[in-house]
């Protein structure tokens, strides 16, 4: 076992980074889950994170909106900046950070409230709508952009949990974009969905890329290849290789990456 | 291993053999369970059976119909209608006069005393209230049903046999005959027992009622609920959602769990020392009772509320935090609404326990003999279980019936309280 952090192969920097992560380490108690990761995340593009199960993709993703703060015993070290500002800074309010960095989880987790309330919740707590009319407009638009409007426009008052899995996931996406974040983090958003629902979400990601930076964790090589512009390959807490998705999938530099994407691993 | 090269048929045979064993075990287990449930049912039926057999009769009481003449000569000989005189007038004499008029043949002081003994002393008090509230009735005649004495009541209800030897009952043979005569006239009958629901405690069984204890219990439980639910839920939310996990909170947690197991009488002693001894609050007051029962129910509510909070799926918390909700918003908007049903369950259990407690109330003096129905949380009062305890100790037959009657009222109270809580809980649960 080689526990020393490896140096990342590929280009970790981008021209116009939203996020810039330097020397990031994450520990769960004694367990070193993320080892000295350096990576930039670019505006208006999709970064796919791939790697075998347990390699730390979710852990790294949760660093970006400080969801690891909520885990007892988790410790994040290193420097992560959002638009040049340290997100661990005393000045940085975690509530505000999460309003700027939205998150979609692996399992759809709508609130046990109505569809309308699910989407309206974020704008409401952040005070984004001056009146009911504006709120209605935000809900309407978010649902449209998430491609869910046609399916739910007649049942906005029904519980969000009454939707199908794929609809629920799109509801969660609508909920996230309702607060107009700068970055959207997605942790295996399609793992519980059938191919049709998956395709819809992939289309959606493609559209959302026009306005947001997106980080997506996925176990599907095809999905990574389809939706992302850059890909990062993690292995046992190391960021092994990062680069243009085309390059990674056609000409991986690291042996580990090659093994993984050709299916010889995991 | 031989198991690796078994044929499919051999494996099948083995499975079939083990199946029979499994089914046998299951049947046995079901039998044990059923026996346990049946045994429990038998006890419950027996318990309720005896209580209802003893106590249901309390809802009816023997009343005697008398023709009263509100004789101005007796009530107000001076004719001044002075309220003070009206209060102190000899109403007993009115009752006696009407009984005497019903049985003109009875003479002699001993016999007359026996005759007058058929009617409760409550009758004259009733007439007094009648006149003081409406003096214009003086000089008129009226038919009234007044309480019979408890010995008469027991005879009417068949708790004492009419043909028993005279020295084995508290009524003489001639009294029994008069009773029979009154019954023939329809002037002595069982009617709905108002007194039981409108009176406080009394030394006379026929006048003793549960109202004092019922109101006392209501006031006490009101204080308990108002204090213990918010404090308990607040403590649970803080401990579960906000408190740092460290040694101190561990110690607090262990202590709360231990508190739930502390015998209730200890809380009574604590209440006596603290609320009455130190803060100088009045003895026997529902306020202090409520404080003591709050101490008693808090651990239950805290433990149940924490369990309810723990049961809220983490995905909901993540969703809320991920949307940028603050911790408080996450708790208030998402976690609490989901946890409220569980918290209500805790409150039901806690309040039910509080309702049935008597030991801690004895310690703070809610066991006194109190005739007046309490008007507020500072008035001396008893509580239903304490009333049961008090009455169960008294020798008169009428109190045996009242003990069971009070238990029935207590059970009904419990039923109403739990039904309300269950309805509330369902309402919250039905949200989604
Ligand atoms: N809350 C936690 N406490 C302790 N260890 C954790 C915790 N969460 C994750 N880990 C450990 O950190 C490592 C990385 O976990 P992570 O969830 O980030 O993996 P992942 O790459 O997302 O895996 P998957 O593809 O299966 O989702 C794993 O070894 C895991 O056991
Ligand atoms: Mg993961």
- Domain boundaries defined on chain A: 9-108+185-261
pLDDT of residue B134: 87
Which of A95, A110, A121 faces B326 most closely, judged by CB atoms? A95
Q: Are residues B236 and B320 in the same domain?
A: yes
pLDDT of residue B431: 56
Q: Is residue A2 over pLDDT 50?
A: no
Per-residue pLDDT, averaged over A4-17, amounts to: 78
**β partners of residue B355:** none
Rounded to 10°, the helix B286-310/B336-356 angle is 140
Q: How many angstroms away from the CA of B319 is the closest CA of chain A?
A: 6
| Nearest Cα residue to atom 26 of ligand 1 | A53
Domain end among B56, B78, B97: B56
In terms of Cβ atoms closer than 10 Å to its own Cβ (0-12, 13-18, 19+), residue A218 is buried
Q: Are residues B273 and B344 in the same domain?
A: yes
Q: Is residue B205 included in any domain, yes or no?
A: no
Q: In angstroms, rounded to a whole number, what is the distance separating the alpha carbons of residues B413 and B352?
A: 10
Q: Is residue B424 included in any domain, yes or no?
A: yes
Pairing of the two strands B60-69 and A85-86: unpaired
Q: Is residue B420 included in any domain, yes or no?
A: yes
Interface contact B432-A113, CB threshold 8 A: yes
Does the CB of A161 have a partner CB in chain B at under 8 Å?
yes
Q: Is residue A11 over pLDDT 90?
A: no
Q: Are residues B8 and B99 in the same domain?
A: no
Q: Are residues B305 and B400 in the same domain?
A: yes
pLDDT of residue A253: 87
Q: Are residues B49 and B64 in the same domain?
A: no
Q: Is residue A197 over pLDDT 50?
A: yes
pLDDT of residue A265: 58
Q: Is residue A252 over pLDDT 50?
A: yes
Say if CB B266 and CB B335 are below 8 A apart: no
- Find the CATH number of the domain harbouring B381: 1.10.3720.10
Say if CB B243 and CB B327 are below 8 A apart: no
Interface contact A122-B324, CB threshold 8 A: yes
**Long-range contacts for B5-11 (Cβ within 8 Å, ≥24 apart)?**
none
Q: How many angstroms away from the CA of A263 is the closest CA of chain B?
A: 31
Q: Are residues B248 and B163 in the same domain?
A: no
For chain A, the residue count is 266
Global pTM reads 0.82
Q: In angstroms, rounded to a whole number, what is the distance separating the alpha carbons of residues A183 and A19?
A: 9
Is ipTM strictly over 0.90? no
Domain end among B169, B199, B229: B199
Q: Is residue B303 included in any domain, yes or no?
A: yes
Q: Are residues B253 and B366 in the same domain?
A: yes
Measured between beta carbons, the chain B residues lying within 8 angstroms of A58 are: none
Cβ–ligand 1 contact at A104 (below 6 Å): no
Does the CB of A65 have a partner CB in chain B at under 8 Å?
yes
Measured between beta carbons, the chain A residues lying within 8 angstroms of B338 are: 112
**pLDDT tens digits, chain B, 432 residues: what are they?**
455 788 888 889 888 889 989 999 999 999 999 999 999 999 999 999 999 998 889 999 999 999 999 888 888 888 888 888 888 888 888 899 999 888 888 888 889 988 999 999 888 888 888 888 888 888 889 999 999 998 899 988 888 888 888 887 888 888 888 999 898 988 888 999 988 999 899 888 889 999 999 999 999 999 999 999 999 999 999 999 888 888 998 999 899 989 888 999 999 999 999 999 999 999 999 999 999 999 999 999 999 999 999 999 999 999 999 998 999 999 999 999 999 988 988 898 899 999 999 999 999 988 888 888 899 889 999 999 999 999 999 988 889 999 999 999 999 999 998 898 888 888 887 555
Q: Is residue B399 included in any domain, yes or no?
A: yes
Q: Are residues B98 and B187 in the same domain?
A: yes
Q: Is residue B206 included in any domain, yes or no?
A: no
Note the pLDDT tens digit of each residue in A64-98: 999 998 888 899 999 999 998 899 888 888 888 99
pLDDT of residue B386: 94
Q: In angstroms, rounded to a whole number, what is the distance separating the alpha carbons of residues B396 and B263?
A: 32
Rounded to 10°, the helix A165-177/A195-208 angle is 10
Q: In angstroms, rounded to a whole number, what is the distance separating the alpha carbons of residues A234 and A61?
A: 12
| Nearest Cα residue to atom 14 of ligand 1 | A56
Domain that holds residue B33: 3-56
Q: Are residues B268 and B412 in the same domain?
A: yes
pLDDT of residue A4: 55
Q: Are residues B188 and B77 in the same domain?
A: yes
Q: Are residues B193 and B245 in the same domain?
A: no
Q: Are residues B364 and B399 in the same domain?
A: yes
The ligand placed nearest to the CA atom of residue A53 is 1
Cβ–ligand 1 contact at A55 (below 6 Å): yes
Measured between beta carbons, the chain B residues lying within 8 angstroms of A72 are: 245
Q: What CATH code is assigned to A9-108+185-261?
A: 3.40.50.300
Domain end among B56, B73, B101: B56
Measured between beta carbons, the chain A residues lying within 8 angstroms of B432 are: 112-113, 159, 161
């Amino acid at each position: 076992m080689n526990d020393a952090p490896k140096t990342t192969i590929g280009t970790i920097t981008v021209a116009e980074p939203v996020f810039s992560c330097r020397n990031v380490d994450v520990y769960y108690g004694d367990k070193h889950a993320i080892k000295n990761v350096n990576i930039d995340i670019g505006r208006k593009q999709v970064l796919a994170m791939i790697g075998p199960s347990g390699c730390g993709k979710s852990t790294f993703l949760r660093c970006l909106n400080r969801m690891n703060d909520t885990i007892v015993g988790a410790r994040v070290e290193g420097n992560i900046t959002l638009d040049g500002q340290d997100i661990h800074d005393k000045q940085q309010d975690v509530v505000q950070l999460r309003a700027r960095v939205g998150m979609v989880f692996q399992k759809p987790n709508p609130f046990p409230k109505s569809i309308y309330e699910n989407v309206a919740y974020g704008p409401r707590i952040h005070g984004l709508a001056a009146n009911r009319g504006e709120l209605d407009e935000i809900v309407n638009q978010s649902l449209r952009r998430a491609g869910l409007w046609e399916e739910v426009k007649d049942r906005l008052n029904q519980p969000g949990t009454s939707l199908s899995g794929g609809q629920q996931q799109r509801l969660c996406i609508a909920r996230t974009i309702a607060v107009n974040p700068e970055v959207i983090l997605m942790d295996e958003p399609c793992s519980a969905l059938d191919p049709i629902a998956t395709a819809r979400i992939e289309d959606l990601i493609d559209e959302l890329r026009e306005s947001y930076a997106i980080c997506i964790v996925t176990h599907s090589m095809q999905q990574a290849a389809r939706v992302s512009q850059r890909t990062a390959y993690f292995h046992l807490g190391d960021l092994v290789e990062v680069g243009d998705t085309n390059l990674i999938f056609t000409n991986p530099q690291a042996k580990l990456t090659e093994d993984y994407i050709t299916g010889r691993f995991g | 291993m031989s198991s690796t090269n078994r044929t499919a048929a051999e494996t099948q045979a083995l499975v079939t053999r083990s199946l029979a064993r499994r089914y046998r075990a299951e049947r046995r287990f079901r039998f044990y369970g059923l026996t346990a449930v049946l045994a429990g049912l038998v006890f419950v039926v027996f318990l309720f059976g005896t209580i209802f057999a003893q106590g249901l009769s309390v809802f009816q009481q023997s009343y005697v119909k008398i023709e009263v003449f509100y004789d101005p000569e007796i009530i107000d000989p001076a004719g001044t209608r002075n309220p003070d005189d009206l209060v102190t007038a000899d109403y007993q004499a009115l009752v006696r006069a009407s009984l005497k008029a019903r049985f003109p043949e009875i003479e002699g002081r001993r016999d007359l005393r026996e005759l007058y003994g058929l009617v409760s002393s409550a009758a004259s008090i009733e007439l007094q209230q009648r006149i003081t509230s409406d003096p214009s009735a003086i000089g008129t005649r009226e038919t009234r049903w007044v309480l019979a004495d408890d010995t008469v009541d027991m005879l009417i209800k068949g708790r004492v046999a009419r043909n028993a030897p005279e020295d084995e009952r508290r009524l003489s043979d001639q009294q029994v005959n008069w009773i029979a005569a009154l019954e023939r006239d329809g002037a002595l009958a069982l009617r709905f027992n108002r007194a039981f629901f409108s009176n406080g405690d009394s030394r006379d069984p026929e006048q003793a009622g549960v109202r004092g204890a019922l109101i006392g219990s209501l006031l006490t439980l009101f204080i308990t609920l108002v204090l213990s639910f918010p404090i308990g839920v607040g403590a649970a939310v803080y401990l579960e959602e906000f408190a740092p996990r460290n040694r101190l909170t561990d110690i607090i947690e262990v202590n709360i769990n231990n508190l739930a197991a502390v015998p209730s009488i200890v809380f009574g002693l604590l209440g006596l020392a603290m609320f009455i001894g130190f803060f100088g609050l009045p003895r026997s007051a529902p306020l202090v009772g409520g404080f003591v029962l709050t101490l008693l129910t808090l651990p239950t509510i805290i433990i149940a509320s924490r369990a309810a909070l723990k049961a809220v799926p983490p995905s909901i918390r993540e969703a809320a935090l991920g949307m940028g909700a603050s911790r408080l918003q996450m708790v208030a908007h998402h976690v609490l609404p989901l946890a409220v049903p569980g918290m209500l369950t805790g409150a039901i259990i806690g309040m039910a326990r509080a309702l049935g407690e008597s030991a801690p109330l004895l310690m703070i003096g809610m066991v006194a003999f109190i005739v007046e129905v309490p008007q507020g949380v500072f008035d001396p009062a008893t509580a239903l279980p304490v009333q049961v305890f008090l009455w169960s100790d008294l020798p008169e037959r009428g109190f045996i019936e009242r003990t069971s009657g009070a238990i029935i009222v207590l059970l009904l109270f419990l039923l109403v309280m739990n039904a309300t809580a269950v309805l509330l809980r369902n309402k919250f649960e039905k949200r989604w």
